[in-house]
């Protein structure tokens, strides 16, 4: 057994996020065959991911605030604490806070052998973000 030391809170890189985003690694890289990744991600009002997809899908569990998520070609959906959202492998989407609320979620996904567990695309524009 190992009681893990808390990792430092990191800021979301600007190439992957718009606005101020903070994450804590709860389950990071372990020796193979472990593939589990679990992060707490906190979005400040207006902050969101860029468009992206996950090679092995992703499960999000909202823990605080009010959030938004959109699949490419779909409507923006409001998400709340207690909700769990699954995006299947390769489905392009973004997630983040509303313009007026913080949002925190657990993000759970699996690594892949070649390291490309998440494929990142363009930022979510103000026009896309405001379209609800």
Sites of contact with Mn ion (CB under 5 A): 58
Nearest residue to Mn ion, scored by beta-carbon proximity: 58
Kindly tell me which of 66 and 71 has the beta carbon lying closer to Mn ion.
71
- HEC string of 28-62 equals CCCCCCCCEEEEEEEECCCCEECCEEECCCEEEEE
Kindly tell me which of 3 and 59 has the beta carbon lying closer to Mn ion.
59
Burial class of 71 by CB neighbour count within 10 A (0 to 12, 13 to 18, 19+): middle
CB of 89 to Mn ion, least distance (A): 11
Kindly tell me which of 58 and 98 has the beta carbon lying closer to Mn ion.
58
What residues form DSSP beta bridges with 65?
103
CB of 60 to Mn ion, least distance (A): 7
CB of 37 to Mn ion, least distance (A): 11
57, two tokens: 């899908």
CB of 1 to Mn ion, least distance (A): 31
Q: How far is CA 57 from the centre of its chain?
A: 11
Kindly tell me which of 58 and 70 has the beta carbon lying closer to Mn ion.
58
């Amino acid at each position: 057994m190992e009681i893990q030391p808390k990792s430092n809170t990191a800021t979301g890189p600007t190439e992957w996020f718009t606005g101020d985003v903070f994450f804590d690694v709860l389950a990071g890289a372990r020796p193979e065959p472990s593939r589990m990744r679990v992060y707490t991600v906190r979005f400040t009002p207006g902050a969101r991911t860029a468009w992206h997809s996950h090679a092995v899908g992703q499960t999000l569990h909202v823990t605080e605030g009010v959030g938004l998520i959109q699949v490419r070609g779909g409507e923006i959906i409001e998400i709340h604490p207690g909700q769990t959202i699954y995006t299947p492998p390769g489905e392009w989407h973004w997630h983040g806070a509303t313009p007026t609320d913080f949002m925190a979620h657990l993000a759970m996904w699996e690594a892949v052998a070649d390291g490309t567990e998440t494929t990142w695309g363009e930022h979510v524009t103000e026009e896309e973000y405001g379209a609800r």
